[in-house]
Structure 1
Amino acid sequence: MAIVIFVAAPVATIAFHFGVAALSVLFHMGATPRQQELMEVSKKYRNVHGPNYSDQALLLIDRFGELLPTRLASVQLLLDEEKFDGGSLTDKLRAARIAAPKYASAECRALLEAFASHCRLSEASVSTLQGMIEIRFTLQFVQQGNFGEFPDRGDMQLDVAHLEYGAFNDRPLSFLAEGTTSARRRTIYAAIAKDCVATRSIYGNCAIQGIRIGMSASGTARNIRVSTSGTATLASIGEISDKRTSEF
């Protein structure tokens, strides 16, 4: 079950800043009605997450169907060194770097099954962690379908939900099959998709703005235990007058 931290940002007048200017430049000529509405939300939105956060979320909504470098799924994998060929750690790291795109491709397939229409590797890195091989990569993705419907009336606001998905797989690494950890991540992706459907039933729209999947390790060198968890950020446009709940 997801734990949700819900941020409903009321419409409020704020000082003109760079993020709003960026939206203005993007939309100022030949803006569609929806872009004009997004600009109005941006002008009034109280930015509670740091500079330009709200505008970044609004831009991702406006460019819902595009692959963007700011709409990412960040994934961390911890793998047994024995999965990679080589007599030395240097050789194993080289083999892991060669294999990293294969793992990213498999993760893209998981996103496509759950909620994405397009997915591609953005970047990948390989290192060691507690006697294991750590592979990190980020994936750009496009969500299936469309954002949804905007409110028909009233002032609008941007609402952002930060969801956390509980840890799985607290088992010794030596007994932890790679297919099991993949299945756990697929479970998280399916839950994210389900939560977006629930969000859309409340607001009429939903955008998956970003995902982070991590694995943590504990225990001794001979009995390392790992767990998998995830977070996701969902954004929606709603009416201020709407009565909504933060529990999905």
Structure 2
Amino acid sequence: MCGLILLALFIATEGGTVIRPLGVRVSLTSESRVLVWAAALLLLRHVIILRDPLPRRVAHGLRHAARTAGTLADDRSLSRPLDRRDDPPLSRTRRAWLGLGVLALFAVLTAVMTYPQARFLTETVVPEMGDPLLSTWRLAWFAHQLPRDPFRLFDANIFHPERYTLAYSDAMLVPSLTVAPLVWLGVHPIVAYNLLFLSGFALSGAAMFLLVRSLTHQSGAALLAGFVFA
């Protein structure tokens, strides 16, 4: 089904294609017809033929294997009771405040470690003008083109008349989608890039802190892990 959707996008951008399976000429010129095929397969898969999706079947198999194997030594060590060195359990409210505090801490550390990036947040990209400017342009192009003509998203405004020029480098689709709402609200692309760049460090450190603390119940080890990871 995903292949049919990709085929429809290809037909929409190229105007059609011709394939010859087993020597038989097949002309594909209508993306809507291919999308109808995809919808029919979707209906067949999820309405007529009811079957658990593959990830759920894999998870069920793993749970069954784990129950069959029984409790392992490592499982027992992880499920041990807290000792004196462990942090006490926190309520949901205190966990939320802890998460916000850790995020603020890593935001400050990010500003210090990347100085003077935060100082010029709304003015320029530092410390060098190569890849940061390219990344800023990619973010801006994504936000510009997506609401106007998403089928020609990769036909960027460089190297005319070449097509698919956004793919000449990393397209940054997920990061661009993350900050596109900011650009649509009027935030300058340079500011959007700087926020994306700096938040990556802060969020990575905070996420690692939460992960390690949930495994070890020790905030000191979690802070160290977050600092090293970020």
- TM-score scaled by structure 1? 0.23
- TM-score scaled by structure 2? 0.25
RCO comparison, higher one (Cα < 8 Å, 6+): 1
| Structure whose alpha-carbon radius of gyration is higher | 2
Q: Judging by fraction of residues, say which structure has more helix.
A: 2
Q: Judging by fraction of residues, say which structure has more strand.
A: 1
